[in-house]
């Protein structure tokens, strides 16, 4: 009994010394936690207030769209572009969907590119690039205006001044996904703004590749059912171009021949093989002299060089003529042959 009493007293002493420190620690931890929660609550309230203030300010009339500036257009009306974009005066500038507005503008047939931009505090900017017309395409009884990128822009009542006509064979497909023979009047909603077929696009590419001087001499063009292109000049000459391939070589052959041969009575110019261009003429044109052409001062074809060369040889062989005369005739024949052979296309001239 005497030994158990001191043990109990010692335990009570230790407990009385530890408990106050634990209590103080717990109080300190709880106080820190309460302060942390208070700071987080204050920060959250501040963020909410700032967001609410920002949204309220953004949706206020201060940042409403008050002006839409449109630049770059010449054919399209500004009001038409604005209404097609889906944006109206008074819309909130922050809430405007720039991507949707640009897509709406790009869906317009005449728009090649569009850029939509916010300009604070209350302006939207539209920068427009329009399609460039390339040719009027006749598909059956219908006329449509097509851009240089192959996009169908609008219907036409007639071929206007300065417009180039491309006629399609009746079985040619005008637009991608459109059955042959279908006209724009039959399916206007699904045709305007779409792209032409690849064959028509390649033919338009040929017309676009011409320089202005040659293009001014083209009266019309025709694309056959097999994809062969032919051109009719303003003087009635038909240029057989063939498939729209080797375009640069064929156009060079056309320009070279037209600048060298006699244009009078010319019926056809065949450049389907550009290194062997051939000219045919109508009846009664065999006696045409190279001097009758304002453009062909050096001779109309290689046959002129051959005739001059033969004259020089004959002059050299005749004893009655002096040797100097024969030499002069041979030199003139060689010079004429060289001038005729210097062109980029070998030209054959025939009469039909």
Residues 319 and 291 in one domain: yes
Is 78 inside a domain boundary?
yes
Task: For residue 158, give every residue at least 6 positions away whose Cβ sits within 8 Å of its Cβ, in sequence order, or none.
Answer: 143
Same domain, 121 and 148: no
Please answer whether residues 64 and 122 qualify as being in contact, where contact means their C-beta atoms are separated by less than 8 angstroms. yes
Domain shared by 120 and 166, yes or no: no
Residues 163, 122 within the same domain: no
76 in the same domain as 186: no
Pair (120, 253) in one structural domain: no
Last residue of a domain, which of 89, 106, 130? 130
Whether residue 294 lies inside any domain: the answer is yes
Look at residues 203, 121, 191, 204 and name the one whose alpha carbon lies nearest to residue 155.
Answer: 191
Instruction: Tell me, yes or no, whether 96 lies in a domain.
Output: yes
Q: Is 32 inside any structural domain?
A: no
Domains: count for the chain: 2
Can you give the pLDDT of all 352 residues of the chain as single tens digits? 455 555 555 555 555 555 777 878 888 888 888 888 888 999 999 999 888 877 777 667 778 899 999 999 999 999 999 999 999 999 989 889 999 999 999 999 999 999 999 998 889 999 999 999 999 999 888 799 999 999 999 999 999 988 999 999 988 889 876 655 555 444 556 789 999 999 999 999 999 999 999 999 999 999 999 999 999 999 999 999 999 999 999 999 999 999 998 888 899 999 999 999 999 998 877 545 443 443 443 433 333 343 433 444 344 444 334 334 444 444 444 344 344 443 444 566 665 5
Range of the domain at 199: 133-351
Asked if the structure places residue 311 within a domain, the reply is yes
Residues 108 and 203 in one domain: no
Can you give the CATH number for the domain in which 153 is found?
3.40.50.11690
107 and 212, same domain (yes or no): no
pLDDT of residue 144: 95
Residues 107 and 142 in one domain: no
Per-residue CA distances from 238 to 49, 168, 191, 249, 352 (Å):
79, 16, 31, 18, 14
């Amino acid at each position: 009994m005497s030994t158990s009493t001191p043990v109990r007293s010692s335990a009570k002493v230790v407990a009385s010394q530890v408990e106050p420190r634990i209590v103080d620690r717990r109080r300190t931890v709880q106080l820190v936690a309460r302060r942390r929660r208070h700071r987080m609550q204050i920060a959250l309230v501040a963020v909410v207030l700032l967001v609410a203030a920002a949204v309220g300010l953004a949706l206020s009339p201060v940042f409403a769209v008050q002006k839409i500036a449109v630049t770059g257009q010449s054919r399209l009306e500004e009001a038409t572009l604005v209404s097609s974009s889906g944006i109206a005066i008074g819309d909130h500038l922050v809430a405007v969907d720039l991507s949707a507005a640009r897509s709406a503008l790009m869906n317009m047939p005449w728009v090649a590119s569009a850029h939509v931009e916010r300009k604070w505090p209350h302006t939207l900017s539209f920068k427009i690039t329009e399609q460039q017309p390339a040719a009027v395409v006749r598909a059956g009884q219908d006329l449509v205006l097509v851009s240089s990128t192959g996009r169908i822009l609008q219907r036409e009542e007639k071929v206007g001044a300065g417009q180039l006509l491309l006629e399609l064979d009746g079985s040619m497909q005008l637009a991608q996904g459109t059955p042959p023979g279908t006209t724009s009047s039959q399916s206007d909603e699904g045709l305007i703004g779409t792209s032409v077929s690849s064959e028509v696009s390649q033919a338009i590419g040929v017309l676009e590749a011409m320089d202005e001087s040659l293009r001014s001499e083209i009266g019309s063009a025709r694309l056959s059912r097999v994809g062969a292109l032919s051109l009719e000049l303003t003087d009635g000459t038909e240029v057989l171009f063939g498939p729209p391939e080797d375009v640069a070589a064929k156009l060079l052959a056309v320009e070279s021949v037209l600048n060298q041969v006699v244009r009078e009575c010319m019926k056809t110019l065949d450049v389907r093989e550009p290194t062997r261009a051939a000219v045919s003429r109508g009846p009664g044109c065999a006696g045409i002299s190279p001097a009758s052409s304002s453009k062909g001062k050096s001779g109309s074809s290689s046959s002129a060089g051959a005739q001059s060369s033969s004259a020089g040889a004959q002059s050299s062989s005749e004893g009655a003529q002096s040797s100097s005369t024969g030499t002069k005739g041979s030199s003139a024949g060689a010079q004429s042959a060289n001038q005729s052979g210097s062109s980029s296309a070998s030209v054959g001239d025939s009469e039909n």
